[in-house]
């Protein structure tokens, strides 16, 4: 089951459970669509994988399967990320 993290790890933008802006990688690193497209260039800075749109958990399941409230805010080191992009 997905954690459904509440914010973008880079810019800390709110990404509630029903956000259509949330993107995740295979390890559930969570970023907003703006950061994925313009900052990360569709490459996860943690695993090097690509992103997919995060699914939306239906409201009726939130009580039984709550979303995460833990905020992971680790702004990407843009220089290191750019180096990774140019190596591949």
Q: What would the mean pLDDT of 30-55 be, rounded to a whole number? A: 97
| pLDDT tens-digit map of 60-75 | 999 999 999 999 999 9
**Cβ 48 vs Cβ 84: under 8 Å:** yes
pLDDT of residue 75: 97
pLDDT of residue 87: 83
CA dist., res. 64 & res. 83, Å (int): 43
Residue 88 predicted with pLDDT over 80: no
CA-wise closest residue to 41 among 75, 84, 11:
84
| pLDDT tens-digit map of 1-33 | 899 999 999 999 999 999 999 999 999 999 999
Q: Where are the domains of the chain?
A: 22-87
């Amino acid at each position: 089951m997905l954690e459904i993290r509440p914010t973008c790890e880079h810019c800390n933008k709110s990404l509630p459970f029903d956000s259509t802006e949330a993107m995740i990688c295979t390890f559930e690193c969570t970023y907003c669509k703006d950061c994925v497209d313009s900052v990360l260039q569709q490459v996860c800075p943690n695993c090097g994988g690509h992103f997919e749109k995060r699914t939306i958990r239906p409201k009726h399941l939130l009580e039984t399967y709550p979303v995460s409230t833990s905020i992971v805010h680790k702004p990407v080191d843009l220089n290191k990320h750019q180096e990774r992009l140019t190596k591949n």
